[in-house]
């Protein structure tokens, strides 16, 4: 099973979804919503709007601005869903979501954020029974299950499909006359419910509501299905809720102005992470730097807690694409310089703390330490605002193979030497939970967080095949 999940050519998707029901310019609202979710995926973007049973589709590879070159308002319909994709395998426009299907119940469109651990097994079974798949996407597996259901009614067919799939999914389903949102029983990925005027909307993150002027109502609950039709909203608890929201959403993935828990913004929680790390692993230094953008909040918290000035010593070139690219050895130094530069006058001759949100392969820290040394720092202490990542993620975040995880291969001292830092320290798992939840034991089942990539305790056991 593990082998089946690791190193396959399946797409591991951690994406953004947005949907709205009952709005005269539904596609246009989705277009703006997707802009706010662009950080969740830059591979492809798409919108599907339903206009009295007719589905209008536009999608393509690239950023929202690249796919919708003339802006958007062209797709008629008062209900629409959209998707931005982050795939760690090369995807093509065929995989770009939302995916649209015709089956005996009519036309449906699906947009999903997550990864299903039993999708390969279900797919193989369906293929043996004669199904033909068009894409590598887990989302298509859900569509096949809906189409094969014994129920004609979309809601019941969807519930039957959900009972079979396992893993992480924040799923939007657009039917001819309704919009349905579903979250997996662990609520591994975030999904929020909002309202603009008389229209209900859903978004992966609340920052999308702020842009379109919608009010945030609440988070969709783990195991919940929300159905909006004829301007009525209904909630059905389709599975027992066992909350385990991905802690990496707080550490790295979500936008700082989003709200994932209902109390604090992601920025405030990241600041807490920095303060907690300062309490656990203090160091004497002249200044604290954060790796832009995802570590700035945590770095400011670290500095504030220790009374060390938080300075802008690293500047990011905003026009260079994604970070997680895997450049070859020859282009490595140039690529990091292309992306980040050091403000030499700030760091020269100083004892510096460099705070990053996470360390996966160690390459980012290694390259930044080198840049800082080239700029003449006296010493550089690396502080990582998350615990060591020892286990792969099977729920959609691109941490896919143990071979690539430096902590699974080397001791902390060996990593310190590899990145040439004067010291290297990580946040503890307890500290992470405390900073996010305000206490170690918030919900009945534990922290309410998924911590599997740090602890190896997977909320959905990875040997669950059916």
Active site residues: 15
* Candidates 41-49, 65-73, 246-254, 310-318; binding stretch for ligand SF4 (CB under 6 A): 246-254
- The residue from 44, 137, 199, 247 that contacts ligand SF4 (CB under 6 A) is 247
Q: Which does 450 bind (CB under 5 to 8 A by kind): ligand SF4, ligand AMP, none?
A: ligand SF4
Label residue 202 exposed, middle or buried (CB < 10 Å: 0-12, 13-18, 19+).
buried
Residue 454 Cβ vs ligand SF4, minimum distance, rounded to whole Å:
7
C-beta separation of 33 from 212 below 8 A = yes
Least gap, CB of 246 to ligand SF4 (angstroms): 3
Q: Decide if 462 contacts 394 (C-beta within 8 A).
A: yes
Hey, which residues between 335 and 394 contact ligand AMP (CB under 6 A)? 356-364
When binding is defined by CB under 6 A, the residue of 31, 169, 248, 310 that contacts ligand SF4 is 248
Q: What is the rounded CA–CA span in Å between residue 222 and residue 295?
A: 28
Stretch of 77-85, 270-278, 307-315, 445-453 lying at the interface with ligand SF4 (CB under 6 A) = 445-453
Contacts (CB under 6 A) with ligand SF4, residues 399-418? 399
Told to check if 398 binds ligand AMP by CB under 6 A, we report: yes
What distance lies between CA 112 and its chain's CA centroid? 12
Give dist(CA 342, CA 169) in Å, integer. 39
Q: Which of 227, 298, 453, 460 binds ligand SF4 (CB under 6 A)?
A: 453
Q: Restricting to residues 377-396, name those near ligand SF4 by CB under 6 A.
A: 393, 395
For residues 459 and 189, what is the distance between their CA atoms, to the nearest angstrom?
A: 13
Q: Locate tokens 């988070």: which residue?
A: 219
Q: Say which entry of ligand SF4, ligand AMP, none residue 246 contacts (CB below 5 to 8 A, set by partner kind).
A: ligand SF4
Tokens of 83: 């998707």
Number of other CB atoms surrounding residue 382 within 10 Å: 28
**Which residue among 159, 294, 297, 400 contacts ligand AMP (CB under 6 A)?**
294
Give min distance, CB of 1 to ligand SF4, in A. 16
Residue 364 interface partner, choices ligand AMP, ligand SF4, none, CB cut-off 5-8 Å depending on type = ligand AMP
The least distance separating ligand AMP from the CB of residue 360, rounded to whole angstroms, comes to 3
Task: Answer yes or no whether residue 323 interacts with ligand AMP by CB under 6 A.
Answer: yes
Collapsing DSSP states into helix, strand and coil, what is residue 287? strand
Q: In whole angstroms, give the CA distance from residue 12 to residue 452.
A: 16
Least CB distance from residue 88 to ligand AMP, whole Å?
8
**Partner in contact with 398, chosen from ligand AMP, ligand SF4, none, beta carbon below 5 to 8 Å by kind:** ligand AMP
Distance of CA 151 to the CA centre of its chain: 32
CA–CA separation, 401 vs 292, rounded Å? 26
Residue 365 main-chain phi, psi, to 5 deg? -60, -45
Q: Which residues, in sequence order, are bridge partners of residue 46? A: 59, 83
Report what 377 binds from ligand SF4, ligand AMP, none; CB cut-off 5-8 Å by kind: none
Residue among 284 and 293 whose Cβ is closer to ligand AMP: 293
- How far, rounded to the nearest angstrom, does the alpha carbon of residue 89 sit from its chain's CA centroid? 15
Q: Between residues 45 and 100, which has the closer beta carbon with respect to ligand AMP?
A: 45
Q: How many residues bind ligand SF4 (CB under 6 A)?
A: 12
Q: Is 209 in the site for ligand SF4 (CB under 6 A)?
A: no
Binding mask 182-221 for ligand AMP (x = CB under 6 A): ----------------------------------------
Residue 243-282 contact track with ligand AMP, rule CB under 6 A, x = bound: ---------x------------------------------
Q: How many CB atoms lie within 10 A of CB 411?
A: 9
Token pair of 9, please? 């050519």
Q: How far is the CB of 138 from ligand SF4 (least distance, A)?
A: 15
Backbone angles phi, psi at 206, to 5 degrees: -65, -20
Task: Assess contact for 249 and 386: CB atoms under 8 A.
Answer: no
The rounded distance, in Å, linking the Cα atoms of 437 and 329 is 40
- For residues 187 and 166, give the distance between their C-alpha atoms in angstroms, rounded to a whole number: 12
CA–CA gap between residue 386 and residue 405 (Å, rounded): 14
Q: Is the peptide bond before 156 cis (omega within 30 degrees of 0)?
A: no
| Beta bridge mates, 320 | none
Q: Which is nearer to ligand AMP, 29 or 340 (CB)?
A: 340
Please tell me whether residue 452 binds ligand SF4 under the rule CB under 6 A.
yes
Residues that bind ligand AMP (CB under 6 A): 252, 291, 294, 323-324, 356-364, 397-398
Residues that bind ligand SF4 (CB under 6 A): 188, 246-248, 393, 395, 397, 399, 450-453
């Amino acid at each position: 099973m593990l082998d089946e999940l690791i190193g396959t050519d399946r797409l591991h998707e951690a994406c953004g979804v947005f949907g709205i029901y009952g709005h005269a310019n539904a596609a246009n609202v989705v277009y703006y919503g997707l802009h706010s979710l662009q950080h969740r995926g830059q591979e492809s973007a798409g919108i599907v709007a339903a206009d009295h049973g007719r589905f209008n589709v536009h999608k393509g590879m690239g950023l929202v601005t690249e796919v919708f070159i003339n802006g958007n308002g062209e797709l008629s319909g008062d209900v629409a869903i959209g998707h931005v994709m982050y795939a760690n395998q090369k995807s093509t426009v065929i995989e770009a979501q939302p995916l649209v299907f015709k089956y005996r119940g009519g036309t449906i469109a699906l947009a999903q954020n997550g990864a299903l651990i039993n999708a390969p097994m279900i797919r193989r079974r369906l293929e043996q029974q004669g199904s033909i798949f068009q894409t590598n996407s887990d989302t298509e597996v859900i569509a096949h299950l809906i189409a094969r259901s014994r129920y004609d009614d979309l809601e019941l067919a969807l519930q039957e499909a959900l009972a079979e799939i396992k893993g992480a999914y924040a799923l939007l389903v657009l039917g001819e006359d309704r919009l349905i949102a579903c979250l997996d029983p662990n609520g591994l990925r975030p999904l929020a419910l909002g309202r603009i005027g008389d229209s209900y909307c859903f978004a992966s993150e609340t920052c999308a509501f702020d842009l379109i002027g919608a009010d945030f109502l609440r988070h969709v609950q783990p195991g919940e299905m929300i159905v909006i039709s004829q301007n009525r909203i209904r909630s059905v608890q389709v599975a027992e809720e066992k909350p385990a929201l991905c802690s990496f959403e707080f550490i790295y993935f979500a936008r700082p102005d989003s709200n994932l828990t209902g109390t604090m913004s992601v920025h405030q929680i990241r600041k807490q992470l920095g303060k907690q790390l300062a309490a656990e692993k203090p160091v004497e230094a002249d200044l604290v730097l954060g790796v832009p953008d995802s570590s700035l909040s945590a770095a400011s918290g670290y500095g504030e807690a220790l009374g060390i000035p938080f300075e802008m010593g690293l500047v990011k070139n905003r026009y260079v694409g994604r970070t997680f690219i895997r450049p070859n050895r020859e282009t490595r130094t140039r690529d990091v310089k292309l992306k980040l530069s050091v403000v030499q006058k700030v760091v020269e001759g100083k004892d510096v703390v460099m705070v990053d949100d996470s360390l996966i392969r160690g390459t980012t820290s290694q390259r930044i330490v080198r840049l800082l040394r080239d700029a003449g720092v006296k010493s550089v202490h690396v502080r990582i605002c998350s615990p060591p990542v020892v286990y792969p993620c099977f729920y959609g975040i691109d941490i896919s193979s143990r071979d690539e995880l430096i902590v699974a291969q080397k001791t902390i001292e060996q990593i310190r030497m590899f990145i040439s830092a004067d010291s290297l320290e990580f946040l503890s798992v307890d500290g992470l939970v405390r900073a996010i939840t305000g206490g170690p034991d918030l919900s009945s089942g534990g922290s309410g967080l998924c911590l599997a990539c740090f602890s190896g305790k997977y909320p959905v056991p990875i040997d669950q095949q059916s």
